Structure 1
């Protein structure tokens, strides 16, 4: 969910003095269960190489989702001249990119 949120929802907006305009989750959008597809978990046990045995556990979802979503959006909209290069890629950003591509 974190990776999906970073691409489609999350966007820090500041005023002219550098103060964040979204200071609560009412203003700062994050994905919730209805916005996320069903996720199938594959569990693989691997030994950690370090002496303590510690390793990460949640990074995979945050790392894989952004390029997958960006490539899917690019594939869907490239015939319109849209080439996303920055996040977020929410509806308003995509509409802006489509309008800019149309005017180019």
Structure 2
């Protein structure tokens, strides 16, 4: 009986381990840009926002409609990505052009 209770408890904990917080993100990606500039972006696993850090400032940008690629924007800061390329406008230290992940 005790072994069965332990097994039930372990199964219950295993189920909890797969639950992710609402704001869970992939590991940050570093983008190297023209002129030696760099920024990082971590994307929400749900795809609804990106956390961008550029020029010592962090921005939480919601996903917005885009014709091609992915676009995240708020209050004059815009991140556009397509494949391994990116463009970041309106962020501290920017603009960040001709950016690529490594």
Please classify the TM superposition score into its range, dividing by the shorter chain length.
under 0.3
Higher relative contact order, structure no. (Cα contacts within 8 Å, ≥ 6 residues apart): 1
Q: Normalized against structure 1, the TM-score is what?
A: 0.26
Larger % of strand: which?
A: 2
Q: Normalized against structure 2, the TM-score is what?
A: 0.26
Larger % of helix: which?
A: 1
Larger Rg: 2
